[in-house]
Amino acid sequence: MRSQYLTILGLLIIAGNAQAQSAPSGKTLAATINLYVFPGAGQAPDQQSKDEVECYNFGVTNTGSDPFQLQKQANAQQQQTEQQVQQAKSAGQGAGAKGALGGAAAGALIGEVANGNASQGAAWGAVIGHRSAKRGAEQKSSQAAASAQQSGAAKQEATAEQIENFKKAMSVCLEAKKYMVKY
């Protein structure tokens, strides 16, 4: 008996949340997740609302996914991916200067030994070191950015699949209650 009361209380809370979420736009619960429902047996709007809440709960229970939470998760994942890409792009900054410094030191040594002119060797070493370090940093940065984008895309795809599975579960429930459903 107690579990029935808890179930009813849960339904009322979810229904209240669903109505609060859909109230500004006038959409039904199903419409907020792009699930289009038509009462095939002439169900009244209040009955449709109750059935949508019940089928929403069925979908959450059977898939383990809540589409509203998944959407928040997808937005957070997208922001995280953008931050990782920006970090990867800025990670190589300063590499050219470091390479120039190392190249100048090596060039000075080589220039002194080869022709007795350390300053000319240092200049050439700095140019070569700068270009080489900058090119290497750009490649690493580009690879890291591509990796972050691929990882983000895979996460987004997995989230979209979870939402799709939820819609299927909710649709099955609604169709069992004599509604026509499309998404």
Task: Assess whether 41 and 83 both reside in one domain.
Answer: no
What are phi and psi for residue 37, nearest 5 degrees? -125, 130
Task: Assess whether 178 and 154 both reside in one domain.
Answer: no
Per-residue confidence (pLDDT) for residue 48, from 0 to 100:
96
- Which of the pair, 48 or 91, is modelled with greater confidence? 48
pLDDT > 60? residue 89: yes
Query: Helix 95-115 crosses helix 118-176 at what angle (to 10 degrees)?
Result: 150
Instruction: For residues 65-89, give the mean pLDDT.
Output: 88
Task: Assess whether 89 and 173 both reside in one domain.
Answer: no
Per-residue confidence (pLDDT) for residue 93, from 0 to 100:
61
Place of tokens 């998944």: 70
What are phi and psi for residue 24, nearest 5 degrees? -60, -35
Per-residue confidence (pLDDT) for residue 3, from 0 to 100:
44
Task: Assess whether 105 and 23 both reside in one domain.
Answer: no
Q: Are 134 and 99 in contact (CB under 8 A)?
A: yes
Per-residue confidence (pLDDT) for residue 7, from 0 to 100:
43
State the residue range of the domain holding 26: 2-67+166-182
Task: Assess whether 32 and 92 both reside in one domain.
Answer: no
Task: Assess whether 60 and 127 both reside in one domain.
Answer: no
Instruction: For residues 130-159, give the mean pLDDT.
Output: 80
pLDDT > 60? residue 110: no
Condensed to tens digits (0 to 9), the pLDDT of residues 147-174 reads 888 888 898 999 999 999 999 999 999 9
Task: Assess whether 42 and 78 both reside in one domain.
Answer: no
What does the block give as tokens for 24?
């500004």
Going by the DSSP 8-state scheme, the letter that residue 64 receives in this structure is S
What does the block give as tokens for 79?
């922001």
Instruction: For residues 48-73, give the mean pLDDT.
Output: 96
Amino acid at 112: E
Local confidence band at 72 (pLDDT 50, 70, 90 cut-offs): very high
Task: Assess whether 81 and 149 both reside in one domain.
Answer: yes
23 three-class SS? coil
Could you tell me which residues come within 8 angstroms of residue 74 by beta carbon, excluding any fewer than 6 positions away? 156, 159, 160
To the nearest whole percent, how much of the chain has pLDDT over 70? 61
Name beta bridge partners: 37: 181
Task: Assess whether 83 and 155 both reside in one domain.
Answer: yes
Task: Assess whether 143 and 128 both reside in one domain.
Answer: yes
Count of structural domains, the chain: 2
pTM: 0.61
- Which of the pair, 98 or 20, is modelled with greater confidence? 98
Amino acid at 2: R
Task: Assess whether 73 and 149 both reside in one domain.
Answer: yes
Task: Assess whether 36 and 99 both reside in one domain.
Answer: no
Place of tokens 């009322």: 12
Nearest to 118 by CA among 129, 105, 131: 105
* Mean of per-residue pLDDT scores for the chain: 77
Could you tell me which residues come within 8 angstroms of residue 152 by beta carbon, excluding any fewer than 6 positions away? 77, 78, 80, 81, 84
